[in-house]
Amino acid sequence: MTDGLANGIVIGSLVLAAWALLTTALDRPVGRTHLVGLGLIELALVVQVVVAVVKMASGERAEEMATFIGYLIASLLVLPVGAALALIERSRWGSAIVALASLVIPVVIVRMRQVWGG
Amino acid sequence: MGDGRQSGGKVAEGRAINAGPGRVLIAVYAIFALSATARAGVQIATKFSDAPVAYLLSALAAVIYVLATVGLARGGRAGRRIAVVCCTVELVGVLTVGTVSVLVRSVFPDDTVWSYYGRGYGFVPLVLPVLGLYWLWRTARPAVA
């Protein structure tokens, strides 16, 4: 795993989650800032998947391969699904969904590191 | 249906369960449905003989989470009924499996979603069915019974 990129994703996700929680508290629905944040993190997650695939193609192996691949796929699904759900819900609860989806990402990253390195 | 207590937009079947905070609940259930299904799939596919009871329970939990997600997302009377049953089974499951895992460790050599009251998942599996049932109760029509 690339530590710098993973750390960046974790920090970015936490910042977005904090922002989304704030807008939930302020009774505001999902706006452009949320979507830009989600887009940037998703982009970084795609880069991470590419890096992981390149590493695996060049012979490196995760300790629990099946689980690792599962997390790789899940890491790309969480934010788009969360964004779609958040856009349907045009209320503060849409913001809450963005916060929730953003908080899942650090968990996924931590678990990915565990199953990669053992 | 003669309920003078409620006003505007509330129909006889109670408020919609799949809007507002209900959508956040759907999101949480969807995350658990995905992670429990994936986890049970990997466990059963790669090492089923290690801990068959634990892995079958993981699979059962996964099915419950998927059904709860579908019920909550669908809404209506059928959706509500599915969600109530699933949340109840979940609560009973997490309390039973949690208690058994604390008392008799050897029953579950490997963890399930519900072991130790869902400790491995930040106790969310314990809180989630309570939140779910509370939400379903709050959105239900004032009970006549």
Q: Average pLDDT of A56-62? A: 91
* Alpha-carbon torsion, ordered B14, A81, B39, B105, to 10 deg: -50
Write b or e for each residue in B61-84: b if 16 or more Cβ atoms lie within 10 A of its Cβ, otherwise e.
Answer: bbbbbbbbbbbbbbbeeebbebbb
Q: How confident is the model at residue B145 (pLDDT cuts 50, 70, 90)?
A: very low
Q: What residue type is B47 in one-letter code?
A: K
The rounded distance, in Å, linking the Cα atoms of A97 and A21 is 9
Question: Which pLDDT score is estimated for B13?
Answer: 65
Residue B141's pLDDT is what? 67
Under an 8 A CB cutoff, do B23 and A94 touch? yes
CA distance A71 to chain B (A): 9
Q: Is A84:A118 a contact under the CB 8 Å cutoff?
A: no
Closest chain B C-alpha to A54 CA, distance in angstroms: 23
- Among A70, A77, A97, beta carbon nearest to B27: A97
Instruction: Dig out the tokens for B86 from the structure.
Output: 């699933």
Select the more confidently predicted residue: B143 or A88. Answer: A88
Percentage of the residues of chain A whose pLDDT score is greater than 70: 97
pLDDT above 70 as % of chain B: 88
Contact B115, B97 (CB under 8 A): yes
* ipTM of this complex: 0.90
pTM over 0.80: yes
Whether residues B24 and A97 touch (CB distance < 8 A) is answered with: yes
* Model confidence pLDDT, tens digit, residues B1-53: 444 444 444 445 678 999 999 999 999 999 999 989 988 998 899 889 988 88
Task: Return the pLDDT at B7.
Answer: 42
Which of B26, B34, B42 is facing A66, going by the closest CB pair?
Answer: B42
Number of A–B residue contacts, CB under 8 Å: 38
Give the torsion sign (CA, A9, A6, A10, B39). positive
Q: Which of residues 63-102 of A touch B (CB under 8 A)?
A: 66-67, 70, 74, 77-78, 81-82, 85, 88-89, 91, 93-94, 96-97, 100-101
Q: How many C-alpha atoms does B70 have within 13 Å on its Cβ side?
A: 10
CA distance B63 to A35: 32
- Residue-wise pLDDT for B122-134, tens only, equals 999 999 999 999 9
Mean pLDDT of chain B: 87
